[in-house]
Amino acid sequence: MGEANDQGETRSSGKRREWLAFLFVTAVVVPLLTIAVVVGYGFVVWMLQIFVLGPPGHGG
């Protein structure tokens, strides 16, 4: 549906949308995803330590 509308759009509104999308993804989406991945990784390791590995070991 978006593609049909694109034809009628003015050049400036397309530019605006592109910049918004770009900045939103770089400044918000990717940082949040990165933090989520790190946090998730931390949680997985913590849970592994509780149930499987035991406390972090020496050089292990």
Partner 1 sequence: MKIIAALWNTLKRPPVHISLGVIIIVSFLAGIIFWGGFNTAMEVTNTEKFCVSCHEMENNVYQELQQTVHWSNRSGVRAICSDCHVPHNWTDKIARKMQASKEVWGAIFGTIDTPEKFEAKRLELAQHEWARFKANGSQECRNCHDYDSMDWSEMSDEARRFMEPAAERGQSCVDCHKGIAHQLPQQMGSVDPLLAGLVREATSVSLDEGETYYSAKSVDLYTDAERTEQAGVLQVATEVNVLETQGESVKLEIAAWRKEKGFGRVLYEDFGQNISSAVLDKDIAQDGAMIETHQSDVVDELTGLPWGQVSVTLWAEKGAYLGNREALWETAGQTYRDACSVCHTEPAPEHFDANTWPAMFSGMVGFTNMSAPTQELVLKYLQMHSSDFVDAAH
Write out the DSSP string of 1-60: -HHHHHTT--HHHHHHHHHHHHHHIIIIIHHHHHHHHHHHHHHHHHHHIIIII-S--S--
Residues in 1-60 that interact with partner 1 by CB under 8 A:
1-3, 6, 11, 14-15, 17-19, 21-27, 30-31, 34-35, 38-39, 41-43, 45-46, 49, 54-58
Which residues bind to partner 1, rule: CB under 8 A?
1-3, 6, 11, 14-15, 17-19, 21-27, 30-31, 34-35, 38-39, 41-43, 45-46, 49, 54-58
